[in-house]
Amino acid sequence: MILKSDGEIEIKQKSRHFKLFWFQSNDEITVILPKGVTFEKVSMDCGSGDIASDSLNITDELDIDCGSGDIDLTTITTSKTEIDLGSGDVTLTMAGTEKDYNYNIDCGNGDVKIGDILFEDDLKNEISMH
């Protein structure tokens, strides 16, 4: 973890193990935050793996770029959400109502569920709400 002088936190993980096959990795990062922490912007870049959060308060923007894996975010507050996922499922439960949010979700292969609405493989490639 790197704490930069401008208030930015950067977390990077490089595997110390040689992997013959990509699916042999058991690497995991867990970030536990105190209750009430609010971020201005959160950006996550994940080559392969799952991203999950049960409460994330963001005043400005959430940006996630993930090659493959599932994204499961519950009780998210943010004014703008950008998700780009190559393969996997996206499940979002936003605090408030759908019309309160601005989101753009691009999921190449998988299902997208926002609140109670399920967008299955053949019904979506890119979902936007402004």
pLDDT, tens only, 55-81: 888 989 999 999 999 999 998 888 899
Q: Which domain holds residue 66?
A: 37-122
Whose tokens are 């595997």? That residue is 15
Q: What's the mean pLDDT in 31-48? A: 87
Q: Which residue has the higher pLDDT, 74 or 32?
A: 74
Q: Is 6 a domain residue?
A: no
Q: Is 115 a domain residue?
A: yes
Instruction: Please report, for residues 28, 45, 75, 85, the alpha-carbon distance to residue 49 in angstroms, rounded to integers and kept in the order given.
Output: 9, 10, 21, 11
Count of domains forming the chain: 1
Q: Is 25 a domain residue?
A: no
Gap between the Cα atoms of 1 and 23, Å rounded: 25
